[in-house]
Amino acid sequence: GIRLGLSTHSYYEIARAHACAPSYIAIGPIYATTTKPMKFDPQGLSRLQRWVELLEDDYPLTAIGGIDVERGPAVMATGVGSIAVVRAITEAGDPAAAVAELRAAMAEAS
């Protein structure tokens, strides 16, 4: 079936997302990102960890923003259900190799 996910960047947006009862909630940006201009400061790992503790029983959570193969394992260590990456693949010299490297790093981290 269809899944509705909502992207959030602040406490207010998370509260609004919760009221909509989405299939999942995306939280970001975790780190600074160059993919698109952001009017929000990076959430960071400690704030992501707090959102995971508050929301993990209610929604699958996805972290996004500035995540790459080096940062991915630390992001997953917060307990978030998944990560979303853009730049780490789209700007890679070999996107297929970048995907394989990310998958291997995430498998090792879990």
Say yes or no to pLDDT of 110 above 90.
Answer: no
What pLDDT is recorded for position 10? Answer: 93
Three-state secondary structure along the chain? CCCCEEEECCHHHHHHHHHHCCCEEEECCCCCCCCCCCCCCCCHHHHHHHHHHHHCCCCCEEEECCCCCCCHHHHHCCCCCEEECCHHHHCCCCHHHHHHHHHHHHHHHC
Domain housing 89: 5-109
pTM to 2 decimal places: 0.91
* pLDDT confidence band for 34 (50 / 70 / 90): confident
pLDDT in tens, 64-99: 999 999 999 999 999 999 999 999 999 999 999 999
What total number of domains does the chain contain? 1
CATH number of the domain within which 30 lies: 3.20.20.70
Strand order of the sheet with strand 5-8? 5-8, 24-27, 61-64, 82-84
Residue 48 pLDDT level (bands cut at 50, 70, 90): very high
